[in-house]
Structure 1
C-alpha cells in the first residue's frame, strides 16, 4: 500500500452515529481507501509511508459546496455595506478589473487557504472556470466541481439604483453556455473534476436560457447549481420582472425547476412554506454563513432546512466581505448562529453540523459514492488533525468523545497537519511538499495592488457606504 495511518482516532461517517473508531487504522492504495478499522486488524508494515496517528484525528477531507475563489484577490474590498449596495457599488468596481490573470491569482490564494484548513473538494462557481481548473486545481492536485457562471446582465451596473430593473440579453448567455458544455467534454472521466451547469440567479438569466440549461442538465444527467432567493435586491428584481408578489421559488416551481437535481445556494429570503416545498421536491441547499451574514445581515436557514428533513451543506462563497475560506470557522458560526436565531441551545448540534462539510456536502454535490466518508473503495480524500493543539486539549474518550463538540466549537483549521487528495499528499507534516506558497502569495499580492489601484477612481465615484467610511479615516 502507499500510505498507512495507524493508532489514530477515526471519524468515518459510516455505520452507527459518526462511525468513531479508537485506535484505528486506514490504508490508501492507488488513490483509494483499502482498509478502515482497528489497527490490531491491520497489516500495515509494508506500506511506503506510515503515519503514527497516536495524537491525531483522521477524518474525510472537508467539502466546500459553494465558492468563488477568484474573488479572494479582493479580500477586504467590500464589507459593512447595505445589502442593496454590495454587488454594484461595493464589489462591482473591483470585480470588473480582475481579468483572467487576476482570477487565477485569486483562486490560487483561495484554494491554498482552503487546503491549509482541511478542504479537499471545492465547488468552484466562476466565469471561465476552466481557466481555474487548468491553472490552479489540476496543478494543485485538488478535487473540484467546475461550475461555469451563466449570466446575462450588462457588466456596467455601478450607476444602477437598487430599484432599477436589470436589462437581460440572452445573447450574453451563449458563450457561457458553450464554455459550460465544454467542461463535460474536456474533463470527462477526470478523477479530480466533475461539472455542473450554473445559471447565476433567476434575476440574472432569461427564461429562454433557463429552459436551455434545464434541458442540457437532463441530457447530461448532472446537477444545476444556482443562487436562489438571496435577499431584498433579488426580490425587488423578481417582482419587477414577474409581477407583484412573485418570488424566486414560486417562479421556479411554476417552471418545474425544483427537483432533486437542483443545488440552491443561500435561500435566506424564503418563507417556511417555500422551504417545505423545496424539501418536498428534494432540492439540495448550500448555506454560506459568513458571507451572507456580512452581505445581508442574515444567517442562512441551514438548521431549519435540516429540521424539515432537507439535505444541506456549507460553502464559503466569496472572500471580499467575510474574508476567509475556512470551513471550520463556518461550522462554528453556523452552529452557534442557529442556536441564537432559534433561541434553542440544542439546535444544530456538532454531530449534525460536522456532516455539512463531509458526507452531506458529498450528497449535495452528487459525489457521496466517491467521497465524504472513510469507506473501503472510496477515493482517498483524507485529513488528519493534531490533537495536541492547546485549543483541543484535553481529548477525552470516556465516557464520551469530547473531540466531537470541540471539532465544531474549538477548531480553527490550524490543527490540520496532513491533507491527502486522491491518495496524494498535498500537505505533509504541515508543509506543502510540491508548492512554493511564499512565491505564490508574493505574486498574488502584487497583482492585487494593481487591481485595487486601477479600480480606485470608479470605487470613489460609486460613493458607497464604504467610501464614506474611508473619507472619515476608518479605512
Structure 2
C-alpha cells in the first residue's frame, strides 16, 4: 500500500521528448518518493492511505525558483519606477533593516511562493542560518546560500568610487557560510542543502573567490553567484582588474559546471556563449531585471548552447512578487518583444525553465523537476476549473500549457506536496500559521519604517522627492 494516490489527473510529467502529458493519469507516492506514474487503467498500485481524485485537474512537478532573496522580502514596494533602484529608493530602508525583519519577512515571502506552486527555493541571502528555520518549518525544499562578500557598508560609496574591500568582513561572512553548511547541508534526507554564495566578483578579492571555490569542491556542491549583473559591476571590474567580469572569471577557473551564473544582464553575446559552453548554468530573473533596469538579459543567446537555463523571481523589493507563474509569463513576453518574434520562448519551453531545466541547472535533475518513479515527490495540483484556466481542452488542440504560462497567476494551485508531505491542501497551509506570519511580518515592517524615517529625510532619494511632491 502506498501513502498517497493521485488519480484521474491530466499529468504533465516533463518526461520524454515533449512535456510527457498523460490524460486520465495517476501518481503514487510512498514516503518521499514517487513510486508509479501512468494512466490509471494500467496502474498496479491502487490502494493508498490517502486518495486524491483530482477530476482531470493538472498535476505537475512543483516549480523551482532558482534565485530568490527572501531576507529582503519585507521591503517590497519601496523602490520601483526609478533609474537607480538601490540608492534611488531602497537605501533608507536597508539601513534600518534588522535581523528580525529579515527573518519574519522571509517567512511571508516563502509562504507567498509556496502558495503559488513553488516547491524548491534557491534562497540566497543572510542571515541564512536563521532563515533556514523558516524553510524547515514550512516544509519547502530549499537550496541555501549565505551571501559572502568583503563589503562593510556600500551605502556611503559615491558612484564611480572603487569599492573598499575588507578581508576581515569576508572571513566573517565565510565563517557564517561554513556554519550554515555544517548545520543544514543534507537536512531531512537532503530536503535542505547548501551552496556557496559569493555575492559577485566585484565585491570580493580573487583570493576569497578562490577560497570559496575550494570549499565548494570539498563539500561537492555548487556556487551561486551574481555575474555581470549590472553596469556598476562591469565598471568596478574594469577599474580594479582591467577586465570584464566573465573574462576575469574564466581566467581564474570559475566558469565551469559548478557555477550558477545569475542575471548576465550586461553579458555580450560572446560572453554568454562562453558561459554556456564552459558548462555553467544561467539563472534568468526577467521580472526583476525588467522592473529595475528595463533590460532583457541574453537568455535567448544562452539557450542556443545549453538547456541549463532556470528562472528566478529574485527579490520582492525589485520584482514585487515571488511567483513563478508571473516569472514564466514575463520571460516569454519580454523575449518575444525583444526580437519582435512571437514564436520565440514558447510556453512549453518556458515551463521547462521552471521545472526540469531548472533542475538540470541546479544539478538536481535526478531528484526533482519531473514526475517519474524514483524521484522526490514534489508535486502541485492546479485547478483547471478556475476562470483563468477556462476552457480546458485536450482536442483538437490542447491549450492547458499556454494557459498555465500566459493566464494562470498561482491562485489556481490548490495542493502542494513536497518530499511526499502535503504542505498545502485546498489552499490551506498544513505546517504554518499563515495569518500569524503576516501579522508578525507587518509589525516588523512597521518598526523598520519607523527607524527608516531619519534616513529617508536625510538621504533625499529620488522617491522621497516624489513623495514630497505628492506624486506617490
Asked if the contact 1:127–1:150 (Cα under 8 Å) also holds between the matched residues in 2, the reply is no
| Pair 1:342 & 2:352 matched | no
Take 1:365 and 1:234, find their aligned partners in 2: how far apart are those partners?
24
TM-score normalised by structure 2 residue count: 0.97
Take 1:216 and 1:440, find their aligned partners in 2: how far apart are those partners?
35
* 1:116-135 correspondence to structure 2 within 5 Å: 116-134=115-133
2:142 maps to which residue? 144
2:42 maps to which residue? 41
2:375 maps to which residue? 378
* 1:109-258 correspondence to structure 2 within 5 Å: 109-134=108-133, 136-155=134-153, 157-190=154-187, 191=189, 192-243=191-242, 246-258=243-255
Q: In the alignment, which of 346, 352, 355 is matched to residue 352 of structure 2? A: 355
The worse-fitting range, judged by mean Cα deviation, of 3-12 and 88-97 is: 88-97
**Structure-2 change in CA distance of 1:168 and 1:153 (3 Å):** same
Q: In the alignment, which of 263, 268, 271 is matched to residue 271 of structure 1? A: 268
The worse-fitting range, judged by mean Cα deviation, of 455-464 and 348-357 is: 455-464
**Structure 1 residues 351-401: Cα deviation after superposition (integer angstroms, max 9, x where no partner):** 110011101111111211111100101110000000011121111111232
| Pair 1:29 & 2:26 matched | no
Secondary structure class of the residue paired with 2:73: helix
2:459 maps to which residue? 462
Cα deviation, residue 342, structure 1:
1.2
Asked if the contact 1:169–1:206 (Cα under 8 Å) also holds between the matched residues in 2, the reply is no
Secondary structure class of the residue paired with 2:195: strand
2:55 maps to which residue? 54
For structure 1, the 5+ residue unaligned runs are: none
Asked if the contact 1:152–1:204 (Cα under 8 Å) also holds between the matched residues in 2, the reply is yes
For structure 2, the 5+ residue unaligned runs are: none
**Structure 1 residues 404-446: Cα deviation after superposition (integer angstroms, max 9, x where no partner):** 1111111111100000011111111121133221111111111
The worse-fitting range, judged by mean Cα deviation, of 40-49 and 17-26 is: 40-49
Cα deviation, residue 45, structure 1:
4.4
The worse-fitting range, judged by mean Cα deviation, of 389-398 and 263-272 is: 389-398
Deviating above 6 A after TM superposition, structure 1's stretches of 4 or more consecutive aligned residues are none
Cα deviation, residue 310, structure 1:
4.6
1:428 maps to which residue? 425
Give the root-mean-square deviation of aligned CA atoms. Answer: 1.3
Secondary structure class of the residue paired with 1:420: strand
